[in-house]
Amino acid sequence: QAQLIESGGGSVQAGNSQRLSCTSSGRPFSGAYMAWFRQDPMKGRVFVAAINWNYGTTYYGDAVKGRFTISRDNAKSALYLDMTSLRPEDTATYYCAGRSTEHEYGIPVAAVSYDLWGQGTQVTVSS
């Protein structure tokens, strides 16, 4: 079974950029969607962005729209999140997630819709 491993987290100043990566070890990811979520102490895992693994269509949460870009490299079985104009409120543990099957209503945004998760990587944005 594929395992997802995130990297690229760390500390950054507000206004700067950072890239997160997620790779699949063990087996290449061959599912339908991959996504990024972040952990909120009150809300749980909050949707950040997702991509249709086969077609490349993307969808973003309102909080990051226009600042973050999700992309993938199918050949490397890798997922990326390019984060720009970072804000202190972007501070969180970021999780990579995968879903193996097609979703009837398009790109899923609920954490429960994903069946494969990484261990998370911490991003801290200081003002």
- With 90 as the cut, is the pLDDT of residue 62 above it? yes
- With 80 as the cut, is the pLDDT of residue 1 above it? no
Going by their DSSP bridges, the two strands 92-99 and 116-117 should be labelled as antiparallel
Task: Give the single-character DSSP code of 107.
Answer: S
Name the maximum alpha-carbon separation found in the chain.
Answer: 41
Mean local confidence (pLDDT), 21-48: 92
- With 80 as the cut, is the pLDDT of residue 57 above it? yes
As a whole number of angstroms, the distance between CA 99 and CA 31 comes to 6
Mean local confidence (pLDDT), 66-79: 95
Q: Report whether 78 contacts 30 (CB < 8 A).
A: no
Residue keyed to tokens 């997922």: 79
Q: Report whether 8 contacts 119 (CB < 8 A).
A: no
At 40, the pLDDT band (50, 70, 90 cuts) reads: confident
